[in-house]
Amino acid sequence: MNNPGNPEKSSLCPRDPGDGPIFNDLRNAAPDVTAVILAGGKSSRMGGVNKALLKIDGIAIIEREIAILDGIFKEIIIISNSPDSYRFLGKPIFPDIILGKGSLGGLYTGLKRSSNQRCFLAPCDMPFLRSDIIRLMLSNMDEHDVIIPRINGHLEPMHAIYSKKCIPIIERLLQSDDLKIIHLLDEVDTYEIAESSLKQFDQAFDFTMNVNTPRDLEMASIKSAQITP
């Protein structure tokens, strides 16, 4: 099994399977959107190991994410209560404004700390982000409060774009300890990216894969070897 090892920034860069001619006009064209990476959680199914620093092909998962996001967003921030673990990345790091509120609390902190009106949200354990799919989502923002993929009948709230207009509703949910992001979607203008549109770029929907267990890490390493030429 891979392990985080010495957290030195890698000089390697993962191949982005979504870096093709489609949507190239949207490269670096997200000045009003901040990428927010949530780097929290106990990683209990990974034996307490920091999932963000687990390596696939010699590159930490969070570094793989940043390599993709850097080509799209001018601002990338990390939400973490363990900032020393991520200083080597050279990105702004913010602790949770309200502790113990899970991903919804992390989203709230990201929206509050972002200098832009919208945030693209991703967890720290998603090694196969694709620029073409993120750009597809950006191209559908319009005036919607949330832009989110739907796959196999399920929404993907941890790979979505959120507007600061969601903040008052999130605050109410946090106050009532209703911590499911999916409940936010019932109260805001939500635009769903259809599975058929996503499948044009990623037939297997690998972009939503999370590394939660040692078996997930093994499978991700196999997939990465298949993607890398």
For residue 166, the model assigns a pLDDT of 98
Rounded (to 5) percent helix, strand, coil in the chain: 35, 20, 45
Q: Is pLDDT of 7 > 90? A: no
Q: What percent of the chain has pLDDT over 90?
A: 79
Characterize the bridge pairing of strands 73-79 and 30-38: parallel
Confidence of residue 8 (pLDDT cuts 50, 70, 90): low
Q: Please give the domain boundaries of the chain with CATH numbers for all domains.
A: 24-227 (3.90.550.10)
pLDDT tens figures, 116-147: 999 999 999 999 999 999 999 999 999 999 99
- Best CA proximity match to 200, nearest among 132, 129, 131, 121: 132
Distance of CA 167 to the CA centre of its chain: 19
Work out the average pLDDT over 222-226: 89
- Distance between CA atoms of residues 40 and 60, nearest Å: 15
pLDDT tens figures, 48-107: 789 999 999 999 999 999 999 999 999 999 999 999 999 999 999 999 999 999 999 999
Phi, psi of 201 (to 5 degrees): -105, -25
- The predicted model scores a pTM of 0.88
29 contacts: CB under 8 Å, gap ≥ 6: 138
Q: How far is CA 24 from CA 28, 29, 64, 124, in A?
A: 9, 9, 20, 25
For residue 24, the model assigns a pLDDT of 43
Work out the average pLDDT over 22-43: 72
- Contact between residue 106 and residue 79 where contact means Cβ atoms under 8 Å apart: yes
24 contacts: CB under 8 Å, gap ≥ 6: none
For residue 58, the model assigns a pLDDT of 94
For tokens 């999370």, the residue is 210
- Distance between CA atoms of residues 154 and 129, nearest Å: 18
Cross-strand pairs, 38? 79, 123
Of 17 and 131, more confident:
131
Q: Is pLDDT of 213 > 80? A: yes
